[in-house]
Structure 1
Amino acid sequence: MAIAITKPEAMIFDLDGTLFQTETLLLPAYRATFDRLREEGLYEGETPPEKYVLSGLGMLLEHIWQMVMPEVDQAVHRRADELLLKLQIEGMERGDGKLYDGVAHTLQGLRSRGIRLFIASNGLEDYVKGVIRYQGLETLFEPGGLYSAGEYRTRSKADLVRMLLDRHGVSSAWMVGDRSSDVEAGHANGLFVVGCDYAGFRKEGELDQADVRIADFSELLKLVDET
């Protein structure tokens, strides 16, 4: 059942595929990760097709590696975690990675309207905080408001969002994201869900249960102002 739209006290954003064009940072680091795994004798053969890692965006990393290289030991998955994070951080430091059009302006507009802004991501802590820092968005989000499954060891995004709401005393919020895990996390916590329909990483039908869908991030301002 759809949740009625009301003006929110806060907005909780997914990161990859919602605010950040993940592939602009991820794919070079993904290719370099497999170069390093081969050098270290931990992986043989060609780098798995990029479609596997892209289709897993929004999932926990352990589940992504199970799709990308299901035949290897979990120790290799953990080493891949380390390498991918290190290489992505190095990429951020070089200025790699892009936000979707209108993200910075829209977040500033939401903040100026008094809306509290948060992140809830299934990514690793240093990656999530690094993207926000290197993109110059830190001051727009609530202090301590960048939540990641990597930091809090949650098993689902619904649990992560519940923790965020409780810790920050948020009583009404919109969940904004591009994957079914965002829709499920929002509705599990009684939130209005905005589905972001522009990244293209998801499977068909993932956003069917969202309460509203947007084709451009800047549409959020219009939605808020019309509520």
Structure 2
Amino acid sequence: MKQAIIFDMDGTLFQTNYILEPALAATFDYLREQGLWKGATPIDQYRKIMGVPLTVVWQTLCPEHDKSQHQESNRYFQQALIEQIENGTGSLYEQVEETLNQLAAHYPLYIASNGQMPYLQAIVKQYKLMKWIERVYSIDTVPSGNKSELVANVIRENSITSGFVVGDRASDIKAAQDNGLTAIGVHFDFAQPEELQQADFVVKSFAAIVQKIRA
């Protein structure tokens, strides 16, 4: 039997809120310069949907734009996020490094995220996560954009028989349930209490994950 732990990235390992506002502001400044946006940057609206596939992000924030413009906006936004990461603006959550080090001694660890791969790779490189993480999986590899399907790929490719999905949104919890794994919800920045109710366990600090896994 192979028991493993699969982590979400944004709002679970990485404090995306530190880089989200400046990157989104830069993107909407660009849209204003192009005459494609008027009014305030919809940061609060994005916070509410943080963690959904990027196609849904742009459909929600800019419903009047066509698919081509959504792709261009996302390209600009992704580059702005990566620049923020490389400039050291972001941060892992408190005790992530210590907890991953502790868990990696007993379990293989993976990341499965709705983020695009260059963005995920920037975080992994900046914070040297490959010391603990065996492989990173991006939603880029799943045409459906379905987190449950992404986690199923992690399970299949690594012969996982049991384990945990750790994340902050409903898609993480559903991905665990759909694949017969235990769902651990983290009640951090972007988490919604009504979504976390569906998790098997809920923690308010990253270090508390250790006790839930051993329970």
TM-score for the superposition, normalised by structure 1: 0.89
AA aligned opposite 1:149: I
Which deviates further from its counterpart, 44-53 or 212-221?
A: 44-53
Instruction: Give 2:40's aligned residue.
Output: 47
Of 199, 203, 208, the match for 1:210: 199
CA deviations 1:34-59 (Å, max 9, x no partner) are: 11122234x12023321111111110
Instruction: Give 2:14's aligned residue.
Output: 20
Q: Secondary structure at the match of 1:118?
A: strand
Of 196, 208, 212, the match for 1:219: 208
Separation of aligned partners in 1, 2:49 and 2:120: 16
Q: CA RMSD of the aligned region, Å?
A: 1.6
Deviation at 1:8, TM superposition (A): 7.5
Instruction: Give 1:108's aligned residue.
Output: 101
Separation of aligned partners in 2, 1:153 and 1:134: 28
Deviation at 1:154, TM superposition (A): 4.0
Of 139, 156, 166, the match for 2:156: 166
Separation of aligned partners in 2, 1:87 and 1:167: 32
Residue 36 of structure 1 pairs with residue 30 of structure 2 = yes
Count of aligned pairs: 215
Separation of aligned partners in 1, 2:90 and 2:207: 19
Q: Secondary structure at the match of 1:218?
A: helix
Which segments of 5 or more consecutive residues in structure 2 lack a partner in the other structure? Answer: none
Which segments of 5 or more consecutive residues in structure 1 lack a partner in the other structure? Answer: 1-6
Residue 67 of structure 1 pairs with residue 54 of structure 2 = no
CA deviations 1:91-124 (Å, max 9, x no partner) are: 1111110111111110011012x21000111111
Does the aligned pair in 1 maintain the 2:27–2:80 contact within 8 Å?
Answer: yes
Instruction: Give 1:127's aligned residue.
Output: 119
Separation of aligned partners in 2, 1:44 and 1:193: 39
Does the aligned pair in 1 maintain the 2:110–2:136 contact within 8 Å?
Answer: yes
Report the CA distance shift for 1:8/1:100 in structure 2 as closer, same or farther (over 3 A).
farther
AA aligned opposite 2:112: A
Does the aligned pair in 1 maintain the 2:12–2:166 contact within 8 Å?
Answer: yes
Separation of aligned partners in 2, 1:11 and 1:84: 30
Separation of aligned partners in 1, 2:138 and 2:103: 22
Instruction: Give 1:77's aligned residue.
Output: 70
Separation of aligned partners in 1, 2:28 and 2:22: 10
Q: Secondary structure at the match of 1:209?
A: coil
Report the CA distance shift for 1:100/1:152 in structure 2 as closer, same or farther (over 3 A).
same
AA aligned opposite 1:125: M
CA deviations 1:165-212 (Å, max 9, x no partner) are: 10111111101001010110000000011011122x243410111001
Separation of aligned partners in 1, 2:141 and 2:122: 13
CA deviations 1:2-56 (Å, max 9, x no partner) are: xxxxx97210001111111111011101000111122234x12023321111111
Separation of aligned partners in 2, 1:221 and 1:18: 14
Residue 189 of structure 1 pairs with residue 179 of structure 2 = yes
